[in-house]
């Protein structure tokens, strides 16, 4: 990484002076310095989306004459002289409202309940959604599926009726990226002893590593990754464990 | 009609729709550049020609524009102007705006549902002639309660005027 050549800007986060890389978001810079900002729809591998509003922080500048404003830290890039407060009264108040609303949407979600409890909310003050699943419409699943290139998931309908689904079951490659990226574990999947994997109402076969007999993934997933990456298919037919072992052996041979 | 003939009839109708779909959509893909940006325009063209967006038409749109099927479904379900249910040649829109509501528009909806044997925003009559929708104001409050059938406005509609309206629309 050509770290030295990148342009730096000086910001203050919670009283700490930090040299931050220009172009990065407040959220990224804060997390790199170990300052935790809660978020739900942020995913380091994807473009920031700003849907959950949980990562709000308060910003000001010396020239602003005391004027402050709330911004979503995942979308706001760091600027010279920016003074950021990640835990002001205003910030906590705002996050509380967001969590109160989320709790009404997904009353059964352990993740949201725990987050809300940290902000002193143990029960929502709004009407709970009936027959609620735990989806909070962060659309990480949609975006992660697009990033992988399967493009199988979409948000359907709109407003209060909006939901996430796979309209064309054949487009899904059964890779589990959506389910494993979901912040509230809203996408159910199962792996059976008979070597099948079930997700989005479809059953997939599983391919096993020939040496370690660990499940690697679905045939559809392996074909897709091989095609998109340009790497030989054999590369994807090994489990992580076997690959690590092989690397160790190769490394030992190179060393001595 | 027993259930067997009913399924036969619906299968036949599906087959007719399918063949119609193939022929009617051939020209529309040359009207716009074959890219994702054309999606809404193409869907509007499909809706204009077929009165609704059948699944096989959406498959074809996805193929021709090279857009993921999931995205096509997302757009088609987002806008209320698109219908994923079969619509009749004529769409009867009953205004349920405040003025019409106060003057008994809901009675008209109930009456039409009964006479046409269908539900609001749900399918069309067996002959494919009519489907029924409600709208939240057509801007004709002085004519309340108002009904719009395609381009024709009907003013001060009362349940006993519906027969005449349906007869007229059936013939034209």
Count of beta carbons in the 10 Å neighbourhood of residue B120: 15
The ranges assigned to domains in chain A are 8-87, 140-255
User: pLDDT by residue (tens digit) across A167-196?
Assistant: 999 999 999 999 999 999 999 999 887 889
Percent of chain A with pLDDT over 90: 83
Q: Report the gap between the CA of A158 and the closest CA in chain B (Å).
A: 5
Q: How much is the pLDDT for B5? A: 45
Distance, in Å, from the CA atom of B114 to the CA atom of B99, rounded to the nearest integer, reads 23
Residue pair A34/A41 in contact by the 8 Å Cβ criterion:
no
Which residues does A79 contact at the CB level (< 8 Å), separation at least 6?
Answer: A9, A11, A61
If you count them, how many residues does chain A have? Answer: 256
CATH number belonging to the domain at A8-87, selected among 3.10.20.740, 1.25.40.10, 3.40.50.880, 2.40.50.100 = 3.10.20.740
**In the prediction, which pLDDT does B4 show?**
47
Q: Is the peptide bond before A3 cis (omega within 30 degrees of 0)?
A: no
Mutual angle of helices B55-65 and B69-78, in 10-degree steps: 120
* Separation between Cα atoms, residue B161 and residue B147, nearest integer Å: 11
Say if CB A150 and CB A127 are below 8 A apart: no
Could you tell me if A168 lies within 8 Å of chain B, comparing CB atoms?
yes
pLDDT digits (tens, 9 = 90+) for B107-125: 999 999 999 999 988 888 8
Q: What is the pLDDT averaged over residues B148-158?
A: 92
The per-residue pLDDT for A113 is 97
In the structure encoding, which two tokens stand for residue A123, read together?
């029960």
pLDDT of residue B123: 80
Q: Do B74 and A168 touch (CB under 8 A)?
A: no
Selected for mutation to probe chain B from A142, A150, A151, A154 (highest B CB count within 10 Å) is A154
pLDDT of A135: 97
If you average pLDDT over every residue of chain B, what do you get? 86
Cβ neighbourhood burial of A55 (10 Å; 0-12, 13-18, 19+): buried
Average pLDDT over residues B140-155: 93
Task: Using CB atoms, pick whichever of B68, B77, B78 lies closest to residue A171.
Answer: B68
Given CB atoms, is A147 within the 8 Å cutoff of chain B?
no
Is there a contact between A171 and B73 if contact means CB atoms under 8 Å apart? no
User: How many C-beta atoms surround the C-beta of residue A19 within 10 A?
Assistant: 10
pLDDT score, position A213? 87
Q: Is the pLDDT of residue B3 over 80?
A: no
Q: Which residues of B touch A152 (CB under 8 A)?
A: 68, 70
pLDDT at B102 over 80: yes
pLDDT at A3 over 90: no
Q: What share of chain A is helix, strand, coil (3-state, %, to 5)?
A: 35, 20, 45
> Measured between CA atoms, how close is B72 to chain A, in angstroms?
9
Across chain A, what does the average pLDDT equal?
Answer: 94
Contacting A with CB below 8 Å, chain B residues are 68-71, 73-74, 77-78
Mean pLDDT, range A43-67, rounded to an integer: 96
β-strand partners of B152: B149
Residue B11: is its pLDDT beyond 90? no
Chain A interface test: which of B60, B77, B121 (most A C-beta within 10 Å) = B77
Q: In this model, does residue A146 exceed pLDDT 50?
A: yes
Task: With CB atoms and an 8 Å threshold, state whether A154 touches B71.
Answer: yes
Asked if the Cβ–Cβ distance from A151 to B78 is below 8 Å, we say no
Mean pLDDT in residue range A14-24: 96
Q: Specify the range with the lowest mean pLDDT, choosing from A127-136, A217-226, B131-140.
A: B131-140
Query: Please, is A145 exposed, middle or buried when counting C-beta atoms within 10 Å of its C-beta (0-12, 13-18, 19+)?
Result: buried
Task: Report d(CA B4, CA B26) in Å as an integer.
Answer: 34
At B18, the pLDDT band (50, 70, 90 cuts) reads low
Residue B14 has pLDDT above 80, yes or no: no
Domains of chain B: 3-78 (1.10.10), 90-171 (3.40.30.10)
Predicted-complex ipTM score: 0.83
pLDDT for res A5: 63
Nearest Cβ partner for B78 among A153, A158, A171: A158
> With an 8 Å Cβ cutoff, are B70 and A157 in contact?
no
* pLDDT of A165 over the 80 cut: yes
Whether residue A5 lies within 8 A of chain B, CB to CB, comes out as: no
Residue A72 sits at φ, ψ, to 5 deg, of: -80, 120
Q: Which residues of B touch A154 (CB under 8 A)?
A: 68, 70-71, 73-74
Mean pLDDT of A191-210: 91
Q: Tens of pLDDT along B75-97? A: 999 998 898 988 888 899 999 99
Residue recorded with tokens 């779909």: B21
Query: Which tokens belong to B165?
Result: 């309206």
């Amino acid at each position: 990484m050509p770290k030295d050549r990148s342009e730096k800007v000086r910001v203050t986060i919670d009283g700490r002076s930090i040299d931050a890389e220009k172009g990065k978001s407040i959220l990224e810079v804060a997390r790199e310095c170990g300052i935790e900002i809660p978020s739900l729809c942020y995913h380091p591998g994807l473009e920031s989306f700003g849907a959950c509003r949980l990562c709000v922080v308060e910003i000001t500048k010396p020239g602003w004459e005391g004027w402050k404003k709330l911004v979503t830290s995942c979308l706001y890039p760091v600027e010279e002289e920016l003074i950021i407060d990640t835990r002001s009264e205003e910030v906590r108040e705002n996050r509380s409202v967001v969590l109160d609303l989320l709790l009404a949407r997904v009353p059964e979600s352990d993740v949201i309940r725990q987050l809300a409890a940290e902000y002193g909310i143990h029960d929502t003050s709004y009407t709970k959604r009936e027959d609620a699943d735990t989806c909070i419409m962060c659309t990480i699943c949609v975006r992660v599926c697009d990033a992988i290139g399967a493009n199988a998931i979409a948000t359907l309908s709109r407003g209060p009726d909006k939901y996430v689904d796979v309209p064309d079951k054949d487009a899904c490659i059964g890779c589990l990226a959506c389910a494993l990226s979901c912040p509230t574990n809203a996408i159910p999947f199962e792996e059976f002893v008979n070597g099948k994997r079930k997700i989005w109402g479809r059953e997939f076969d599983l391919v096993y590593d020939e040496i370690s007999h660990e499940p690697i993934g679905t045939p559809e997933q392996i074909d897709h990754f091989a095609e998109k990456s340009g790497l030989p298919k054999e590369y994807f037919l090994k489990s992580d464990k076997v690959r690590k072992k092989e690397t160790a052996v190769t490394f030992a041979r190179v060393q001595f | 009609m027993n259930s067997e003939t009913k399924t036969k009839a619906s299968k036949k109708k599906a087959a007719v729709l399918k063949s119609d779909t193939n022929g009617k959509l051939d020209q529309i893909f040359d009207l716009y550049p074959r890219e994702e940006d054309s999606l809404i325009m193409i869907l509007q063209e499909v809706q204009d020609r077929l009165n609704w967006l059948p699944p096989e038409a959406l498959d074809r749109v996805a193929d021709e524009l090279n857009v993921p099927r999931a995205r096509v479904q997302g757009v088609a379900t987002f806008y209320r102007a698109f219908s994923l249910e079969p619509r009749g040649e004529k769409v009867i829109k009953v205004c349920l705006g405040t003025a019409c509501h106060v003057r008994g528009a809901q009675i008209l909806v109930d009456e039409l549902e009964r006479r046409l044997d269908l539900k609001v925003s749900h399918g069309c009559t067996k002959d494919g002639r009519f489907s029924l929708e409600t709208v939240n104001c057509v801007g004709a409050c002085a004519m309340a309660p108002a009904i719009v059938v395609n381009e024709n406005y009907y003013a001060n509609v009362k349940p006993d005027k519906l027969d005449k309206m349906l007869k007229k629309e059936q013939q034209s």
